[in-house]
Structure 1
Amino acid sequence: MKRLTSTVCVSALTVAFATEAMATEWNVSLWGKRRAFTEHVHKLAELVEEKTDGEFTMNISYGGLSKNTENLDGISIFAFEMAQFCAGYHPDKNRAITVLELPFLGVNTLEEELAVSQAVYAHPAVANEMAQWSAQLLMPTPMPQYNLVGTGEPRDELAEFDGMRVRATGGIGRAFEAVGAVPTSMTASEVYQAMEAGVIDTASFAQHAHLSFGTINEADWWTANLNPGTVNCPVVVNMDAYDALSDAEREALDSSIPAALDHYLANYGELLARWDSVLEEKDVEKVMISEEELDKFREIAGTPTHEAWIEELSAQGLPAQELYDLVMTTLEETRASN
């Protein structure tokens, strides 16, 4: 009887260890804190855990695994399985997707941003470039057009941007530079202190980031309709980690992406709907730029920047014109379908 009991115990332990060994646990590198920008990642983790009965889980870390500017590097060396990064942090490493950061592309809604991002992510040139970093694009983080918060007197004319010290990355930074501003590409977590200390006059962010990183608390005004462009910040997975998933785990992950993005869009939509009340609560003046001034900005920083990007990346061997045309046709098709 004693021997039988021992055998049963050993068998139970073996099953327990085998079950534990079969479980899949991914580490996910984000930054800042949980906010509208990261809601799709949380929803994805929730859905995957539900679909696999807890056998596939994700540990989401905010800054504990890597700096935000080094998340792609972390993916490349398999320091973690999943991460979010922004193309503007290292445009030389993800040249192809910077087409989505060009100023004045004409994208007006989150749904349009999602559509053009997914189209570009599916292009072979994009997948090939990401593969150099052992990265596979999983899903976009569609954001609205960036706008400025600033200190002092509102700047509502293009001439007033001359010499303006602005936090702006990627194509948005180039747009402001074209009209005489002085852009800096400091990371999001550094911007509040820079504004507080007077190192910069203005900061270009989407609404969630002005809230999350506190720049709205330093602001005197907000440009409601400048809309120079946005930043593209995909969620990526390490290719080896993705390939190592079982068929059931991979199905759970892939099939959860649409619902995670739907959740993201709904959640961000709520933020946009209450943005005016946020401005009122923070006593921030809402500034509307005239159409005449916006036309000047588009003329100086729109098409010339697009043409320069196409020429530069084509010279580097990328199908830049093809990627740019893909954005334009996808935008047209998305609007036609709506």
Structure 2
Amino acid sequence: MNHIAAKLTVAAFSLGLATEAMATEWNVSVWGKRRAFTEHVHKLAELVEQKTNGEFTMNISYGGLSKNTENLDGISIGAFEMAQFCAGYHADKNRAITVLELPFLGVNTLAEEVAVSHAVYAHPAVAKEMAQWNARMLMTSPMPQYNLVGTGKARHKISEFGGMRVRATGGIGEAFRAVGGVPTSVTSSEAYQAMESGVVDTVAFAQHAHLSFGTINEADWWTANLNPGTVNCPIVVNIDAYDALSDAEREALDSSVDESIAYYLDNYGELLTRWDAVLAEKGVEKVMISDEELAEFKKVAGDPIQQAWIKEMSAQGMPAQELFDLVNDTLAKTRAGN
């Protein structure tokens, strides 16, 4: 009997090891702190764990695995399996998706931002470029149009942007440069300190980031309708890690994207509805730029920058016009569907 019991014990122990070995655990690199910008990552992890009965889990790390500007590098070497990054942090590594950061694309809602982002992510040129970093696009982190918070006297005219030191990356930074601003690309985590110390006069962020990184606490005013563009920040997975998933795990991951995005949109929508209350609470002046000034800004910083991007990227062998047209075509189809 003792011999049989010993065999059963060994068998049970071996089965336990096999079960444990079958479990999949991914590390996910994000930054800052948990906020509206990362809620879809948490929802994705929750859904995947539920669908796989706990056999596929994700450890979400806020800055513990990598700097935000180095997340794509970490993915490329397999330091972690999933990460979030923003195209403007290293435009040379992800040229194709910088089309989504061009100023004045005319994207009006978060749902439209999701549609154009995922259409571009699905383009073969994007997949090919990301593969150089062993990265596969999974989903976007949709953000509303960026607007400025600033210190000192409020700026109501585009001519007042001359010499303005602004934290802005990618196409938004180029838009401010076109009207005489002086953009700097300090990371989101460094923006508050840059503003507090006077390194910058203004910071361009979406609403959640002004809250999360504290720039709203230094602000005297906020532009409610400048809307020059936004930053595009994908969630990517390491290709080797993705390919190593079982069919069931891969299905659990892929099938959870749409629900995670929907959750994100609902959550961010709640933030947008209470934004005016946040401004009032913190004593921040709400600045409305006139239609004439906005038209001037778009004339100087819209089409010229878009056309320059198309020319530059085409010269580098990218299907730039095709990508740009894809954004506009997707916008049209999305609005027609609504």
Structure 2 length normalisation: TM-score?
Answer: 1.00
**Correspondence for 2:247:** 247
Partner Cα distance (1:73, 1:180) in 2:
33
SS where residue 204 of structure 1 aligns? strand
Q: What amino acid does structure 2 have at the position aligned with 1:196?
A: E
Q: What amino acid does structure 1 have at the position aligned with 2:301?
A: A
Is it true that 1:336 corresponds to 2:328 in the alignment?
no
How far off is 1:80 after superposition? 0.3
**Correspondence for 1:162:** 162
SS where residue 255 of structure 2 aligns? helix
Superposed counterparts of 1:11-90, under 5 Å: 11-90=11-90
Q: Which runs of 5+ in 2 are unaligned?
A: none
SS where residue 83 of structure 1 aligns? strand
How far off is 1:8 after superposition? 1.2
How far off is 1:5 after superposition? 1.5
**Correspondence for 1:124:** 124
RMSD: 0.4
**Correspondence for 1:112:** 112
**Correspondence for 1:274:** 274
How far off is 1:2 after superposition? 1.5
Q: What amino acid does structure 2 have at the position aligned with 1:96?
A: A
Partner Cα distance (1:200, 1:43) in 2:
35
Partner Cα distance (2:112, 2:248) in 1:
31
Partner Cα distance (1:200, 1:227) in 2:
19
Q: What amino acid does structure 2 have at the position aligned with 1:258?
A: D
Partner Cα distance (1:142, 1:150) in 2:
24
Partner Cα distance (1:124, 1:5) in 2:
58
Q: What amino acid does structure 1 have at the position aligned with 2:268?
A: Y
Deviations 1:105-125 (A, max 9, x none): 000000110000011001000
Q: What amino acid does structure 2 have at the position aligned with 1:137?
A: M
Q: What amino acid does structure 2 have at the position aligned with 1:269?
A: G
Partner Cα distance (1:253, 1:199) in 2:
42
**Correspondence for 1:323:** 323
Partner Cα distance (1:109, 1:269) in 2:
10
Superposed counterparts of 1:170-189, under 5 Å: 170-189=170-189
Is it true that 1:296 corresponds to 2:290 in the alignment?
no
Partner Cα distance (2:297, 2:216) in 1:
24
SS where residue 304 of structure 1 aligns? helix
SS where residue 94 of structure 2 aligns? coil
SS where residue 133 of structure 1 aligns? coil
Partner Cα distance (2:320, 2:18) in 1:
50
How far off is 1:230 after superposition? 0.1
Superposed counterparts of 1:138-157, under 5 Å: 138-157=138-157
How far off is 1:13 after superposition? 0.5
Q: What amino acid does structure 1 have at the position aligned with 2:8?
A: V
SS where residue 270 of structure 1 aligns? helix
Partner Cα distance (1:141, 1:70) in 2:
18
**Correspondence for 1:313:** 313
| Runs of 4+ residues deviating >6 angstroms | none
How far off is 1:153 after superposition? 0.5
Partner Cα distance (1:322, 1:257) in 2:
26
Q: What amino acid does structure 1 have at the position aligned with 2:232?
A: N
Is it true that 1:203 corresponds to 2:203 in the alignment?
yes
Q: Which runs of 5+ in 1 are unaligned?
A: none
Q: What amino acid does structure 1 have at the position aligned with 2:98?
A: T
Partner Cα distance (1:100, 1:226) in 2:
18
SS where residue 79 of structure 1 aligns? coil
Partner Cα distance (2:330, 2:4) in 1:
68
How far off is 1:198 after superposition? 0.8
Deviations 1:32-89 (A, max 9, x none): 0000000000000000000000000000000000000000000000000000000000
Superposed counterparts of 1:203-222, under 5 Å: 203-222=203-222
Q: What amino acid does structure 2 have at the position aligned with 1:263?
A: Y
SS where residue 126 of structure 1 aligns? helix
Is it true that 1:262 corresponds to 2:262 in the alignment?
yes
How far off is 1:15 after superposition? 0.6
Structure 1 length normalisation: TM-score?
Answer: 1.00
Q: What amino acid does structure 2 have at the position aligned with 1:318?
A: M
How far off is 1:158 after superposition? 0.6
Q: What is the identity percentage for the equivalent residue pairs of Structure 1 and Structure 2? A: 77
Q: What amino acid does structure 2 have at the position aligned with 1:129?
A: E
SS where residue 267 of structure 1 aligns? helix
Partner Cα distance (1:257, 1:18) in 2:
29
SS where residue 14 of structure 1 aligns? helix
SS where residue 137 of structure 2 aligns? strand
Partner Cα distance (1:48, 1:156) in 2:
47
Most deviating of 128-137 and 5-14: 5-14
**Correspondence for 1:136:** 136
How far off is 1:3 after superposition? 1.2
**Correspondence for 2:5:** 5
How far off is 1:4 after superposition? 1.5
Partner Cα distance (2:65, 2:142) in 1:
24
Partner Cα distance (1:306, 1:229) in 2:
12
